[in-house]
Structure 1
């Protein structure tokens, strides 16, 4: 109104939640795909984990690792597990950025990140 025009030159989507798709490529649940939406999510064998894996070997911790969103990127952090968390075959010691096509190992379970999408 009044002849004023508002020009939007940039639009930033709220990146507070992500949709992430993981496919199990090694372990008892091979072929299983998990599609999750989160700001923060845990992986383990406990019912308290948002993604719970079967673990017949006893090498997966109850709460093994955490995924969280920071500055628009997805990080994985090992939660002090005995057998470690791996990104593309390397054991991580600090929060590590993950991207599509990367493989994440939780003890003997390996998942490939299929897709990451801001929702």
Structure 2
């Protein structure tokens, strides 16, 4: 009886492993990240657009940021904008010069609406949703 079970398990366990691996690969290849609502910051001074390309986008002077604002008044890692159920939310990441929405300094994650003027270290950009 023990030998029969060994023979069954010898083929059953590898077969189950193959089925599980195939299931995992199928789902890895078929699942795609949800699309981000197209949004961007518009610089009225020079007509430049800074596109928000993911659910969470970093903003700052550092080249490691998703949106690079190369101004001395902007901190290296100044702020983050992220998509939530309630809309787009900006969080100041303890920048030295602050982040402002419609002229009001934000100290906690704050919803930003289409057309709002957002200031990063004195650099004013208009938030727009396409």
Q: TM class, shorter-chain normalised?
A: 0.7 to 0.9
Q: Whose RCO is larger (CA < 8 A, sep 6+)?
A: 1
SS in 2 for 1:81: coil
Where structure 1 has 5 or more consecutive residues not aligned to the other structure, the ranges are 1-13
TM-score by length of 1: 0.75
Structure 2 gap ranges (5+): 1-32
Matches within 5 A, 1:29-108: 30-55=46-71, 58-108=72-122
Number of aligned residue pairs: give it.
98
- Tell me the CA shift for residue 18 of structure 1: 2.5
Task: Please tell me the root mean square deviation across aligned C-alpha atoms, in Å.
Answer: 1.8
Q: What's the CA shift string for 1:24-75, capped at 9, x where partnerless?
A: 135xxx32112222110010010111000121xx211001000011115100
Which consecutive segments of 4 or more residues in structure 1 shift more than 2 A? Answer: 14-18
